[in-house]
Amino acid sequence: MRRRIRQHGLTIAMFGAFLIFLVLQSVFGWRTHNEELAQYGHPTLSYLAYLGTGHFAEATFENWESEFLQMGGYVLLTAYLVQKGSSESKPEDQDDRPDDCREHATANSPWPVRSGGLPLAIYRNSLSIALLMIFAGSFAGHVLGGVAEYNEQQMLQSGAAPISAWQFLGTSDFWFQSMQNWQSEFLAVGALIVLSIFLRQHASPESKPVTVPHAATGAS
């Protein structure tokens, strides 16, 4: 068991932190939402009822949306663009790696590689496809959660008639929420790309070895 935990420690740590912070977000969001309802003289919600509100859905999905847009976009961009000296970039003269070509497939290669054709074409791009599909689902969740929260705020503050999800998609409020997250995600990745040229973190695959010169491109 200890060996299996060690083998999967990074995944356990990441998803463990995700669950802890998601629970904390929901608890503090629940308290914040109930404080707002009380200010307007409305009954407060139970914790479980809060989890079905637009307030929780909007806050959750607008962040997932930006994360998976950044990750999907990053995977695609690093396939075609380079940054000299960065550990986050492939070498300047590298196109497909030898192991990306079907000619180097072995009996242990994933079955789409051994099959060739359409399965291989999809599999060769499956990581970016999966990430961008999760982005699309999160975007939809943001729209639906956002319109529910927007309509509730309008009702609390002015009693205005509710709007549709399509109408909410055309509001500056929706795009303000999206852009404030999108810009921060690409700023963070851009900073990592540039800082990895000059700075190191020993033992991390996200960093070049400490003895490697700044001009060397790639992690190895």
- Tell me whether residue 169 is exposed, middle or buried, using C-beta atoms within 10 angstroms of its C-beta: 0 to 12, 13 to 18, 19 or more: middle
As a whole number of angstroms, the distance between CA 158 and CA 128 comes to 43
How open is the CA angle 91-95-99, to the nearest 5 degrees?
100
Question: What is the pLDDT confidence band of residue 2, given thresholds at 50, 70 and 90?
Answer: confident
- Three-class SS of residue 88? coil
Q: Which two tokens stand for residue 153?
A: 């705020």
The pLDDT value given to residue 92: 84
Q: Would you say residue 100 has pLDDT above 90?
A: no
Per-residue pLDDT band for 102 (boundaries 50, 70, 90) equals confident
**Does 15 have pLDDT greater than 70?**
yes
What is the C-alpha to C-alpha distance for residues 25 and 93, in angstroms, rounded to an integer?
45
Q: Report which DSSP code applies to 161.
A: P
Is the model more confident about 188 or about 2? 188
Contact 141, 61 (CB under 8 A): yes
Task: Name the band, by pLDDT with cuts 50, 70 and 90, for residue 93.
Answer: confident
CB 142 within 8 A of CB 69: no
Query: What local confidence, expressed as pLDDT, does residue 38 receive?
Result: 95
Q: How far apart are CA 8 and CA 1, in angstroms?
A: 11
Mean pLDDT of the chain: 93
Token look-up 């002015």 returns 158
Question: How large is the average pLDDT for residues 78-105?
Answer: 85
CB 209 within 8 A of CB 200: yes
Report CA Rg, the chain.
23
Cβ neighbours around 51 below 10 Å, total: 15
Largest pairwise CA distance in the chain: 69
Q: Is residue 219 very low, low, confident or very high in pLDDT (cuts 50, 70, 90)?
A: low
Reference 219, options 86, 80, 83; nearest CA is 86
pLDDT in tens, 118-136: 999 999 999 999 999 999 9
Per-residue model confidence as pLDDT tens digits over 162-214: 999 999 999 999 999 999 999 999 999 999 999 999 999 999 988 999 999 99
What's the CA gap between 15 and 101, in Å, rounded?
A: 32
> Does residue 220 have a pLDDT over 70?
no
> Closest by alpha carbon to 216, among 83, 122, 30?
83
Region 88-96: mean pLDDT is: 85
